[in-house]
Structures are given as structure tokens and as C-alpha cells.
Amino acid sequence: MNERLRLPAEWEPHSASWLAFPHLQDEWPFNLGAAQASIAALCRAIAEAGNEPVRLLVKNEDIESRARSLIGEVRNVRYVTTDYGDCWLRDTAPLFGHRDNGELGALCFAFNGWGGKYEMPFDGQVSGWLTKRLQARRFECPVVLEGGALETNGAGTFLTTASCTLNPNRNLGLTRSTFEQALGDRVSMERVIWLDEGLEHDHTDGHIDMIARFVALDTVVCMRSNPSRPNAEALRSIEEKLRAAGLKVLGIPAPSALQAPSGEPLPASYCNFYIANAAVIVPAYGLPEDEAALEEIANAFPSREVIGLPARDLLWGGGAFHCVTQAQPSKP
């Protein structure tokens, strides 16, 4: 019988969190400096309040110098020089897990720049480089996908969206059953819960980490449908499907409408938090709903400090804190 990788829940212990420092001016035409400052603040929060080592990718000495100037002297942050595209390591790095012998393994998908929309030099090399550096066994899955499209409770239940995973711009002709077969051949899997679609204006075609997250084995958080907020109908459908699958659903507020400087609507979400060893880092947008969202998420994680950090500048690039982090789990 072939070995299968166990992908842990994000609340399980981490030996490090991997991030990458933004450096492409073309990708951040309005706010590269602000996006860099957001990543710096996130690194500090994970390393200090989160009690978790940070490994930050930097392109060269100049980029490292810029990152250091923003982060400051933080003991738990180390800088790693390599080639990469942009900061979205949730999608370009592998999903790490535990092999049968407890050693590190990596679930690796093919990557095509989010359906061919955002192809940046070196992004396709990050997965291979990182698995080699960490000496992790690669579990190659013959599907084009990004890490933000999968969410797991660590016990074999997965969430994903058909709008992303089955999108012809990634996997022409792929069906739910063939995807489940491909995934189940490589990881310990009991079931996949399928949602139809994600948020409007989401460049990723509906990544699950923007709409629903596990906070316990049988409990998820998602944003409550509100007719006065964006995505009301989609959020109502998401909650119904999660409950129908037998999960306990904790509702958090949906944020008010946000726009990029270009006027384009943005897919703001409080679900795109990162669960560090001792803290949960939650995106905040300077909106009236921020405080209530932080309070609800704190109720879901009573043993961790919950920290809200400004994320509007990162959202202009298409994502928030979960999108830019990739956890390296501790050896069990």
C-alpha cells in the first residue's frame, strides 16, 4: 500500500512559518511600500506573540535590507535569499504534512499562475526549491491547484470550491470524483466537502481560505450573510452547505464593501487569518465590523491571543494573512 501524507490542522504545532517579502513594483503599482510594511508587521506578530519562528524569503541583499529596516531586530525571524515571484506562499509553496515515520512530507500541485492570470517569474520553482531545502518527500498530485484552495481539519476532512478546483483554467475536464481520487491517493482523506463558489471579485476563482476555515475537528467559521454586505447570496449558500455536511458553523460578520485605488471591488474576508502557535492573526480593514469579527474569532480560540492587524494594503494585491503564510508543522 502506498504511503499517504497526513496534512495537519493549522492549530497543530509549527516549527516555522514561511513568508516572502513583496518586491515587484508592477504587482503593487499603488502601494508596494505599504504591502511590505504589512508583511513586516505580520512577521513580527507571528514571531513574537505567535511564538513561532519565521523564515522570510528575500530576493537579494537590497530586499533583505528593506525587510530588516521594517521588521526590526526580532530574534525569531530569519532571512532566506532565493528567487521567487511575489508573496503568496500559501499558493506557490507545498502543503506540508506528516509522513508515517513522522518526517516531513509535502503535497505538491502543479502551478499555472492562478489559472494563467498572474504568471510571475520563479513562482513555479518555489515548491521544488523549498521541499529540497527542507528535505521533505514530495507527494506529487497531478492537478493544477494552489494551497489556498484546500482546508483541512487534520483528521481527513477537506473543504474546497468547485469554482476553483474544477475551473477549466486549471483542470479542464476534471470532475469531483477524479479530484478526490487523486487527492486520496496521496493524503489521508475521509471526505471532501464541496462548496460551489467563493467571493465575488476574488482573483483566485474562489479559494476556500477566504470563505470557510476549520477551528476544531467538526467546527468551521464562515461569514454571515447580510443583505447590506457583499456576497450575501453566496455566503448564505456556503453556510447551508456546511451545516448540511454535519459541521457546526460559527458565524462572523461580513465586512463592508471595499475598493482598490483603481475602483475595483475587493474580496475582503475575516476568514483569511493565520493560526500561529500562540496567537491567531486576523486581517482588519478599518471597518466597523472589525471589532465584532475579532471578538467572534477570539471565542473560537480561547487558548490563543487574537490579534487584528491592518490588511487593506495586502488585499489590494488579492489576499491577506493566510494567503501569504505557509506553515511547516513540527515533528509529532
**Confidence check: pLDDT of 1 > 90:** no
Band of residue 249 on the pLDDT scale cut at 50, 70, 90: very high
Provide φ and ψ at 221, rounded to 5°. -110, 145
14-329 architecture in CATH? Answer: 5-stranded Propeller (3.75)
Whole-model pTM?
A: 0.97
pLDDT per position as a tens digit, 277-327:
999 999 999 999 999 999 999 999 999 999 999 999 999 998 999 999 999
3-state secondary structure of 75: coil
Band of residue 30 on the pLDDT scale cut at 50, 70, 90: confident
For residue 24, the model assigns a pLDDT of 95
**Confidence check: pLDDT of 231 > 60:** yes
DSSP-assigned letter for residue 124? G
Q: Where are the alpha helices (DSSP H) in 96-231?
A: 113-116, 126-133, 162-165, 176-184
Mean pLDDT of 13-18: 98
Provide φ and ψ at 122, rounded to 5°. 80, -10
Question: 239-246: which pairs have CB atoms within 8 A and are 24 or more residues apart?
Answer: 241/193, 241/194, 241/195, 241/196, 242/193, 242/195, 242/212, 245/193, 246/218
pLDDT per position as a tens digit, 70-120:
999 999 999 999 999 999 999 999 999 999 999 999 999 999 999 999 989
**Confidence check: pLDDT of 145 > 60:** yes
For residue 172, the model assigns a pLDDT of 97
DSSP-assigned letter for residue 87? S
Mean pLDDT of 217-227: 94
For residue 259, the model assigns a pLDDT of 87
For residue 158, the model assigns a pLDDT of 98
Catalytic annotation, pick one of 141, 164, 271, 323: 323
Mean pLDDT of 209-232: 94
Give me the chain's average pLDDT, please.
Answer: 96
Band of residue 248 on the pLDDT scale cut at 50, 70, 90: very high
Q: Is 323 a catalytic residue?
A: yes
Q: Give 3's contacts (C-beta < 8 A, 6+ positions apart).
A: 99, 100
